[in-house]
Every structure is written in C-alpha cells, then in structure tokens.
Chains A and B, each alone.
Chain A
Amino acid sequence: MKHITLRNIKLVDELMSFCYKYGAKKININIENTDNKVIIDLKAYIEHISEKTLEILNTLLSAPRCREMEEYYWNLSGNDDTDTELTLVGMMSDEAEINYNPDTKLLKITLKRIF
C-alpha cells in the first residue's frame, strides 16, 4: 500500500474536522505505529455533544473495512471543512472505538488500521 503516512494524516485531519465542527476547544492526538498497524488516539474537549450525534459518529465509523473503497477514494478524506468523510474513515479502519464522558467533557476516539 502506498502513501500510508499521508493516509493516516488524512484520517486524523478528518477526525479533527469533526471535533472542530462540534466546538472542540482542545484536541490531543497520539499516533502509534508498529510494523503492520497504526493506532490513532484522539482526545477532544467538547462542551456538549448529543447522544444522537454520537450515535451517528458510531454508525459512520463502524462502516466495514473496504480496501477497494480506500484505494480509490482515500484522497477525499481531510480536504474539506464544510463536510466530513466519516464513512470513508470507517472504511479505512479495522476497528473504531468512541467514548464521551459528559462530566469531563472528553470525547475519545480510537482507530486501528491494520496493513
């Protein structure tokens, strides 16, 4: 697979766009690379995010890994600040985990990509 680093950057870009869209004031990102996988950990402090939005986020990021879609459409992610490409993020990830704590206002998104 070519442009792996750029693809990872675009995924992070897309997640950050989502967080900014919902009013994130502070975002922390941790990216862990190993030989055959990358784990992207994002923590964003968001004042309020509705259950419905979280459900939508979960639905889109739960899209099954579609390598044929990734190879064709990966260039779409992370380039537009008026819309998100979270379905594509889901299709480019093997696992996604979302957690929002209303007390700490912390949204945690973890993505795992296996190559």
Chain B
Amino acid sequence: MKIKIKRKMYKTYYILLVYFIFFIVFGFIMSSPHEILEGFKKILFQSNILITDYIELGGIGAAFINSGLLSIACLFIIVMLGLKPNGAIVAALWLISGFGLFGKNIINVWPVIFGVWLYSKYQKEHFLNYVLIALFGTTLSPTFNEFSFTGIFPLWQGIIFGILTSVFIGFILPPLASYCIKLHQGYSLYNTGFAAGLLGTVLMSFLRLFGINFNKRLLWSTGHNLLFGIFLSILFISMIIIGYILNNKSFKNLFEILEQPGRLITDFFLIYGKGSSFINMGILGLVFTVFIVVIGADLNGPTIGGIFTIVGFGSFGKHIKNTIPVAFGALLASFLSIWDLTSPGLILAILFSTNLAPISGHFGWEFGMLSGFIHVCIVMQIGYLHGGINLYNNGFSGGIVAIILVPIISAFRQKFISGVDELKKDKDY
C-alpha cells in the first residue's frame, strides 16, 4: 500500500521547537562564538563513549547548541514524514535532546539513522514505519567517533570503518529491537537500550578478539548547580503552565495518569491529551531536578540528559507515582554500595532506573523498589560488556532486571494493576 504523507506542523511540534530554539539561545548566551566553535571541534572529533559530558568537553554553549540543533533536525525528519505527535515521539525527541548533552552529536547520529533507512528500503517499506527505531537507535552513535577519531585506525580508514559499522548497526537494529521487546514484555521503557546493549556486547566481543579495546572515559562537569537549577526550573515550570493552558486551564486527567501502570504502550499523550502530558512532564522534571540538588549531586550534561529522558517519558509511561519507588530502591542500593552516592555512575543509575517504572506501576511500589535496587547492582557491572558505546547502558540493565523479575513476580503475585482503567478521552493533537 502506498502511504500518503500529509506534512503538518502540529501545535505540539511548535512547542517543542520553541524549547529546542531556547537551548540554542541559551548556548549563545553562555559562550562566545569562538568558545562554541572550539567546543564543537572537541565534541564532534573526539571519543563520545560513556561518560562524556559535552559541557566538560566543549563548554556549555557548544553542548546546548548541539542538543538544540540535533533535536530540531530530528523534529524536521518527523514533520517531513508526516507523523502525528504521540507519546513515543515526544519521548524520543526529549531523549535525543538529553543525549545531545552527552554522546550524540550533529554528526555521529546519521550513519545509524541511514542504516535504519536502508533497512526500510530493503524491506520495501516507507521509512516512517521505522523512524521511531531510528531515533531511539542513535544510542550506538559513539561507535562512529570511536572508530574514526581515537587513533585505533588511521583517520580515513577509521572514518570509513566507523561509517560502515554504524550503518550496519542501524541496518540490523530494527528486527532486533522489535524482538527484544518480547523478552521483557514492555516492563522496561528503554527497550532500544536493551537491544543495543546486546548488539554492543557482540560488537565489542568481536573487536576484543582482535585486541581492539576502547579506553575508558569519564568527563563530568561540576559547579553549575545554581545556573542549571534555574535553567531547568524555568523550563519545567513553563511546561506545567503550557500544559495547564492546553488542558483548558485545569489539571484534569492528571490523577488518571497517576493511576496508570505505565507499561509499554501507555501513551498518555494520545489517551489523556497533550495538556495533561505536558503537566506530568513538567512535574517529573521539577521533582528529579530537586532530587539531584538535594542529594548533593551535580547538574551537568549527563544528569540533565537523564532528567530530559524522564521528562520525555512523562508522555509515555512515567509519572511520579511509578518512578519514585524505583528511584528510592536505586537510592537505597547506592547508600549501601561501596561507591560514593554522588559518583557519576550511581547518579545516572538512579535517574535512569526509572525505566523500570512499569514494574512499580503494575505490581506495586515494593516491587518497584526491588527493581531499582537490583538495577543499580547490575548496571554498575555491565558497562564493560559493550565498552561504553551503548549510551543507554541503563536500558540494557533495565531489560535484564525486567526479564529476571517479571516472571518471578507474576508467579507469586495475585494482584495486578491493569492498564484498562478510568480513562477519559481527549484527542486534540
């Protein structure tokens, strides 16, 4: 069947565009053009594996401009393909903007996206069918930088090998990502992270066979909590206000959202409307920003990326009721661990542990806490497997936790919270 493309810039896309332009403006305010240029050179032509904080590497200006430009480019693709906004698209765009601060840049995402595009052509299908996988699939983008600019190969051979490998990854990712979802049954929201983790593990194992290994990397900026605290507060409060206005100046449907388990697919955006989704996203953003500040951690590229990811999934499964138990479970594990609570790996583990929110929502808060606890135990160990090229390392861990926990809980638990619940209709896109 020939798919008719109806290109339209929906109201939601205008709102997101304004946010992404705001990032670019913020970048220009924070750094001089020279600093931005120099910062971009470092971001584009150095290693980008976990954990590379673009704010530390290239400065605030270059990091936020990169994030804004990348997000706008992805939004442009979505509009050109004529996709109507839904929760998954909103989540993907915020995830891209978040990882635009640590690991994805305006160059390294394209080989993977092109690979997915090639797969769609191979299947003789329209790219719009696969665009969501392409956007989420950019998790393996650092592969390009790693092969091209770290001296493993001579420059031009490295670039060619980097492009070919990344395109190949994109080409085989769609069937893998779609299959992996069966394994955890939608209880891990970052499914692509799980699929990419498996793929990254195979790739690294292959490379290590030939003695190729990637150097560990930890770039982590500190000392910006006041600045980013104000920036994020403005962002999330504005989101709540916009949501409130779009929601006919009310908080209607917000409590219905809180009653949802959040398992894939729970599309708050389509079921409850964009207004209540934006309110939910804003609340989540504020809560987790305050959380980071209160425990004394740093607001920087990776942690802001983590917060943006939570915010994005605020339209696609996450809310405070199902995320907080998981985050507390992860926090508890962090307290008991041998590592410092505010260490980079642990902070990211706590933020991204919320990918297991559906376990909390479906089985109850106590199992949510348990999943968060186990998540921290696993995620601190598995980064080695893929050598840091899978940016959604926590999605990899989350998938493993869900695969282990869900069948066990299901076998002994009698009471479940189902997605078929009190819903209300709101279909204004």
Residue positions of A touching B, CB distance < 8 A: 1-2, 18, 21, 36, 52-53, 55-57, 59-60, 62-64, 66-76, 79-80, 82-88, 91, 114-115
Contacts and interface: CB of A to CB of B under 8 A. Distances in A.
Contact of A67 (B129, B420, B421, B424): B129
Given A2-B123, A88-B265, A72 B178 contact: yes
Interface of B: 1, 3, 83-84, 86, 88-89, 123, 125-126, 128-133, 174, 177-179, 181-182, 185-186, 261, 263-267, 270-271, 362, 410, 416, 418-425, 427
Candidate in B88, B123, B362 with the most chain A CB atoms within 10 angstroms:
B88
B265 A76 contact: yes
A29 B416 CA distance: 28
B267 A63 contact: yes
A36 B3 CA distance: 13
A69 B125 contact: no
A70 B421 contact: no
Contacts of A115: 1
Given A68-B132, A88-B265, A60 B186 contact: no
Nearest to B409: A82
B179 A82 contact: no
Given A55-B425, A85-B186, 17 more contacts: A1-B125, A2-B123, A64-B84, A66-B84, A68-B129, A68-B132, A71-B125, A72-B130, A72-B132, A73-B186, A73-B264, A82-B418, A83-B418, A84-B419, A85-B265, A86-B420, A91-B265
Nearest to A57: B420
A43 to B, nearest CB: 20
A18 B423 CA distance: 16
B420 A18 contact: yes
B422 A52 contact: yes
20 contacts: A1-B123, A56-B420, A56-B421, A57-B420, A59-B424, A62-B427, A63-B270, A68-B88, A68-B132, A69-B265, A72-B88, A72-B174, A73-B265, A75-B178, A76-B185, A80-B186, A83-B263, A85-B186, A87-B266, A115-B1
Contacts of A83: 261, 263, 362, 416, 418-419
A69 B261 contact: no
Given A69-B265, A72-B178, A87-B265, A60 B129 contact: no
A75 B182 CA distance: 6
A55 B421 CA distance: 10
Contacts of A86: 419-420
A50 to B, nearest CB: 11
A55 B177 CA distance: 33
A75 B420 contact: no
Given A71-B174, A72-B178, A59 B86 contact: no
A59 B265 contact: no
A92 B42 CA distance: 44
Closest 8 CB pairs of A and B: A71-B129, A68-B132, A82-B416, A75-B182, A67-B129, A56-B423, A75-B181, A59-B425
